[in-house]
Structure 1
């Protein structure tokens, strides 16, 4: 057969074009989630020419033929199979993030579900439960306070303490970025909003101790929060008598860009006006957060997290009457106020995160963040008080009135405090999957902290016309019996100006290993953290200090008929001082404050079982901490004042338990119990209770609904804590005063009618555009318990007695709440 040159040329071009066409490829990638928006591992993704499986984060990447319609099949033994048809251009990168529905299969009375269980000691919290559970300060912290080992005796505050630690010993991360609390906050009612916006949250993990080396240098706990990466458009609104919030999220047509933004407003007037002090109270708490994501290709992705918040706190007290004493000898404190307080806290936060994944085994992350806060605390308040006996004779014309004054006096408080803080962070992180059973993680991080602080505050106390000096100065004033020759000094006086710079370099190395002992599975996590830091105030520099924190965890999952997990964690947890820990009571800085050192021993056990043919889980942990170089402190409401001298040792031990499950079919509830004891030894003087010595804690979080009316739901959040030390004056020697506050008892209840949600549809046409709509009624402090946060100390000239008058928190309060989502 003869071919011409022209025919051969065309034939060659045809074959070349055909080969080139068949060689064209495209890529599909994404993250596979379950109905709870949690990533699913080991999902098999199949196309006609290739296949792959998802990794631990639910991520997959698959190369397919271009210019042809390809059917992708997603399958997993626990989830329903899903298919998707796609036709891509040559070299196109397409992102597809399917959500697989749960497929329940009963195998030998064990239910396999799509929810991945935590085995490293973390407590996973549902964003949906956080939104529903009532609380005076609703949010993530409201739910955390119901967990074992966590305490808070102030419903106006989002601050919490864990296993004997204080409010400054807890780490909070959002998308692996550390966030900070304001510095000058002294009262819970000044806080308004926490950083975390619940509307934006996808996953929440909480560690109460024994956490891995990849988490930072704090002594007590970790709250690890992940914001959503939107896949479709959603929006929502919530409004109540305490404020409201709105959010919207969406994704671009090419799936490369996504954004979620939330705005919140809070006004605590409803709660504060339920207290005994009559006030003109005008607060304003506003917060805007946004997260922008960009997937450049299958290897590179970028995200930006931004936050702007402003708290304006205006407080003008007028009168107060507190009745205390006994039935046979009732006493009342009456106060007339003059003056006001004006505080302002403005915070700007921004972070850029880049993730580079050159292949399935290696991931690199680059994080840069900046936190800037400008805070003002101004007040001049004069309190003129009268302490007297109350007429307790029923039927008397003066029943309930003060009929005899035991003491009179006045107290003048003044402050002009300003703070400007800038914290800049740069970090690079790596994750390397050596093989299916071994993973290495590492990080290198630099922090620059620039704090400019001016403190001017003083207090003058006048009793029966005589000015009282600070008792810590040692001056004796027993007027009018003897003349006073000491200097005229205010009761308290703090004046300081600091311009402080702190440089920190920190890093960690972490190893994760999975292995087998016969048919049993075990997990090992071992790592070490290191940090180097130096402090400079004006032109004076402190010593350069270095600390190392080795940590390890062993987890055993036996191949038994009953599903159980055993955990043991041990490690050093060092906390290098932040600015607050460097500043002593008089405002001066100790540049060489050492890191507080703690060794944790945690033994845990998880037992998953079925009761009433429903899933339950019992989690129990016993722990012991021994601490050295302790920086002792006092707590006044939510403000912590350190002594900045590392002159104490301390210990903590306790046991926590939590039973959670479907006590009512279809909804999760839990019961928690905790016991702890913590003591410190200052300068070898002997052990005394620490300010966070919370002995007993009980909590119940319960959800229910009416079987005949499933749209009507009930929520109960109940907390009982035994009294904390803190009933003594702030100036007192803790070794002479070990008084405790009364037990903290609080129950918040909520009732809601669900017009529509994921489980309850409705035939009303006007609800078609909504995915969820709920109208709720909440009762805060259901049983109207009188809980005290501190005591006001008043001298009785008549009996030469000093009384601790409780400063009570909020009384019973009602709230309405409307929630809508599309």
Structure 2
């Protein structure tokens, strides 16, 4: 096969490249305690050295993968010494502050901030992620405060980025791609995100224009790195929503390092705040471990493992939803019988061997397996009454239904099961050349899905069975008889067995130039993927794609405040299993890859305000999409049409201002504008389900000046409404609604008994605690009723169909305590 020969040639060519050097670059700005640039500062690293220019800027080449002490000295200031060990080709930004005090000595944990900045990657502090309140706290909760990222469901960990849907986001943990459950229909079923924030060291996020090294998705990349322990430590967190426990340690020689975490989640508190009275018994638990072992100085073996169990037992009892107007209030009353029992069992494991070879060559071999068994079983009978509400204040029946306009019932039945196995083998590497760094990767995936869908819905109103809203079932009931057989309002019955083979590879090149008036960074690469779908009892289907991508960044000389970025390329998303199923559950193996041409222009501007540092990040983007696989979205369930029938576009502007609005804390304000539309079969452009035009968000940290141990964390968001809430059978060209605007503010107030800046002396009862805090959170502090979908109720007699909003969580309180030894 010709494509295999091409990939093999690339692979062996990379291995055969000669070793020219193994260099890294250290650069930055040296300032004093007043943040003023310092010229003529001596920067020395072994035999190499330089002096800062008139703007305090410096740049120095260092030997990679070697521990080197870098010193910064000036006659009028104390000397600083920092121990560094930079990877091959790294461009590390270090901006030291020279003080008139004791000599500073430290060992730096390299976070690649210099390279990330020019690559357009946002880095989030793990401590910020852990402290910010939210109904579903974690990394995804903080991501939603960034521009370009939107959501309207606080119970879900899913998010949309720049007009894409949930399935268009990549998630990596320690360089290994992870997946989410496939049968999830509502946010309250999800429980826990894969990422355990207690174990995290770095969080990187790109909202678009990402490099070829990342996979074949259209929207975004979340790249999470777990930490390698340096010493024994343990932590505990508990609240009304569950708890977590983690522990870490090393052996004496620090060759073996282990990190483990356990989490438990209980959504009862959140579900009890919704409009439906229920008996709700959830069980969401998972256990994760990350273990590394240094075989020698150049070889390291690591293991990442995860086991999760989600059991969701849900028994709705009653519901009352008031809607309409003050002049004509209406209420829906529902009495339920039946229950829902869901179960999601997931196991994931990955082995990784890292080899820091001689001559500037670094290579990884990764083997991973993901297995999930999921089931959704439900039989729920809803008997409803729709009527007018007594709005006479002071009346005995005030707020109750006094006249019924319609009665009916609805029966929902489901027996859905899925068994999925994904095996992966991957090789990645990078090599420092005389000018630049070359990186490559080759990966094979085997995916096996065994899926059974059995769902139906029957609706009855006043003794009349309501037919599906299709032309062949049109009738004039109850005025004219209808003699056709009774038919379920919705009915899906499908069995799908399919295996997929994928071969993916990438090749990219990074280089930096020192120009007379600035520094120029460039990245260019290409991805390729071949896949073959083999459904049971059907003909297979295969395709191959290539995706070129490039980035440019420019930083003017002598100006540490400005950075300009441009990124673009072709991004293609071959269909995963869910994208091969049409709304009736029928498998369509011939679905093509969706394609999107990206172009984005960005700028970082750093400045001083109130003698503190701030940064304004702005980015404008445009995406042109073809072979679009259109879909409907209900809560978090996506149903694809599996026909590549549309063209689409998305464009917008993202702004983010972050800095120390309060001294010693990091906060930010975000603004996003987005417009995305699609054109199905040349019928014209209409809004896509993720067309969320405006977004404002704030993430704010503060403390009480008179009691600095009292910390305040605020997370607020405002999103304009998205198209949604229409019946899932409705033609969007004839009937399309927008949900109301989403508004939510969560607040957390904690008292910090001990932390890194407030350690207690030996003998004090708090001495053993590295961290200890306790406090409370208020979710949805303004008690805004946000809706996620609509329930559509028909009245056969009047032929009126009502859309009753399904509201999300109300205001509620949560107590929380966290500690670390």
Deviations 1:37-63 (CA, angstroms, capped at 9, x unpaired)? xxxxx998769xxxxxx999997446x
Q: Distance in 1 between matches of 2:781 and 2:508?
A: 47
Structure 1 match to 2:53: none
SS of residue matched to 1:142: helix
Q: Distance in 1 between matches of 2:397 and 2:486?
A: 41
**1:261/1:480 CA distance change after superposition, 3 Å:** same
Task: Map 1:326-475 to 2 at 5 A.
Answer: 326-359=325-358, 361-435=360-434, 437-472=435-470, 474-475=472-473
Structure 2 match to 1:81: 81
Q: Distance in 2 between matches of 1:749 and 1:259?
A: 34
CA contact (8 A) 1:755 1:762 kept: no
**1:79/1:491 CA distance change after superposition, 3 Å:** farther
1:104 and 2:103 aligned: no
CA contact (8 A) 1:80 1:101 kept: no
Task: Map 1:544-693 to 2 at 5 A.
Answer: 544-561=542-559, 563-693=561-691
Q: CA deviation at 1:738?
A: 1.6
Structure 1 match to 2:16: none
Q: Distance in 2 between matches of 1:635 and 1:804?
A: 16
**1:597/1:106 CA distance change after superposition, 3 Å:** farther
Q: Distance in 2 between matches of 1:468 and 1:378?
A: 24
**1:724/1:43 CA distance change after superposition, 3 Å:** farther
SS of residue matched to 1:729: coil
Higher mean alpha-carbon deviation, 486-495 vs 332-341, is at 486-495
Q: Distance in 1 between matches of 2:359 and 2:583?
A: 53
CA contact (8 A) 2:478 2:797 kept: no
Q: CA deviation at 1:120?
A: 1.1
SS of residue matched to 2:183: coil
Structure 2 match to 1:804: 803
**1:530/1:582 CA distance change after superposition, 3 Å:** same
Q: Distance in 2 between matches of 1:55 and 1:417?
A: 60
Structure 2 match to 1:265: 264
Which runs of no fewer than 5 residues in structure 1 stay unpaired?
A: 1-31, 33-41, 48-53, 63-71, 85-99, 108-112
SS of residue matched to 2:541: coil
Task: Map 1:642-791 to 2 at 5 A.
Answer: 642-762=640-760, 765-791=764-790
Q: CA deviation at 1:677?
A: 0.5
**TM-score normalised to structure 1 length:** 0.88
Q: Distance in 2 between matches of 1:174 and 1:394?
A: 57
CA contact (8 A) 1:79 1:103 kept: no
SS of residue matched to 1:254: coil
Q: CA deviation at 1:803?
A: 1.1
CA contact (8 A) 2:308 2:347 kept: yes
Q: Distance in 2 between matches of 1:348 and 1:440?
A: 34
CA contact (8 A) 1:632 1:646 kept: yes
CA contact (8 A) 1:476 1:484 kept: no
Q: Distance in 1 between matches of 2:134 and 2:555?
A: 37
Q: CA deviation at 1:539?
A: 3.2
Which runs of no fewer than 5 residues in structure 2 stay unpaired?
A: 1-25, 27-41, 48-58, 85-92, 101-105
CA contact (8 A) 2:759 2:767 kept: no
Q: Distance in 1 between matches of 2:298 and 2:60?
A: 15
Q: CA deviation at 1:82?
A: 6.2
Q: Distance in 1 between matches of 2:433 and 2:341?
A: 57
SS of residue matched to 1:810: coil
Deviations 1:732-783 (CA, angstroms, capped at 9, x unpaired)? 1111112110000000000000001111234571111111101021000000
Match of 2:534 among 529, 533, 536: 536
CA contact (8 A) 1:689 1:738 kept: no
Structure 2 match to 1:202: 201
Task: Map 1:309-328 to 2 at 5 A.
Answer: 309-328=308-327
Structure 2 match to 1:68: none
Q: CA deviation at 1:132?
A: 0.6
Q: Distance in 2 between matches of 1:301 and 1:473?
A: 64
Q: CA deviation at 1:441?
A: 0.4
Q: Distance in 1 between matches of 2:642 and 2:584?
A: 11
1:481 and 2:479 aligned: yes
Q: Distance in 1 between matches of 2:773 and 2:61?
A: 35
Q: Distance in 1 between matches of 2:197 and 2:516?
A: 43
Task: Work out the number of aligned pairs and report it.
Answer: 747
Q: CA deviation at 1:119?
A: 2.2
CA contact (8 A) 1:468 1:477 kept: no
Structure 2 match to 1:498: 496
Q: Distance in 2 between matches of 1:179 and 1:379?
A: 28
**1:82/1:480 CA distance change after superposition, 3 Å:** closer
CA contact (8 A) 1:61 1:298 kept: no
Deviations 1:313-358 (CA, angstroms, capped at 9, x unpaired)? 0000000000000011000000000000000000000000001111
Structure 2 match to 1:816: 815
Q: Distance in 2 between matches of 1:506 and 1:423?
A: 15
Deviations 1:649-688 (CA, angstroms, capped at 9, x unpaired)? 0000000000000000000000000000000011111111
**1:360/1:386 CA distance change after superposition, 3 Å:** farther
CA contact (8 A) 1:529 1:550 kept: yes
Q: How well do the aligned residues superpose, as a CA RMSD in angstroms?
A: 2.4
Structure 1 match to 2:89: none
Structure 2 match to 1:174: 173
Q: CA deviation at 1:106?
A: 8.1
SS of residue matched to 1:141: helix
CA contact (8 A) 1:562 1:609 kept: no
SS of residue matched to 1:229: coil
**1:497/1:472 CA distance change after superposition, 3 Å:** same
CA contact (8 A) 2:420 2:450 kept: yes
SS of residue matched to 2:141: helix
Q: Distance in 1 between matches of 2:580 and 2:422?
A: 16
Structure 1 match to 2:29: none
CA contact (8 A) 2:477 2:796 kept: no
CA contact (8 A) 1:406 1:797 kept: no
Structure 1 match to 2:231: 232
Q: CA deviation at 1:102?
A: 8.7
SS of residue matched to 1:322: strand
Q: CA deviation at 1:73?
A: 5.3
SS of residue matched to 2:765: helix
Higher mean alpha-carbon deviation, 792-801 vs 636-645, is at 792-801
Q: CA deviation at 1:796?
A: 3.2
Q: CA deviation at 1:797?
A: 4.2
SS of residue matched to 1:121: coil
SS of residue matched to 1:471: coil
SS of residue matched to 2:739: coil
Q: Distance in 2 between matches of 1:291 and 1:698?
A: 37
Q: Distance in 2 between matches of 1:241 and 1:58?
A: 51
SS of residue matched to 1:134: coil
Q: CA deviation at 1:80?
A: 4.3
CA contact (8 A) 2:203 2:222 kept: yes
1:519 and 2:512 aligned: no
Q: Distance in 1 between matches of 2:298 and 2:707?
A: 50
SS of residue matched to 2:341: strand
**1:103/1:765 CA distance change after superposition, 3 Å:** farther
Q: Distance in 1 between matches of 2:799 and 2:724?
A: 22
SS of residue matched to 2:443: strand
SS of residue matched to 1:283: strand
Structure 1 match to 2:6: none
Q: Distance in 1 between matches of 2:442 and 2:756?
A: 43
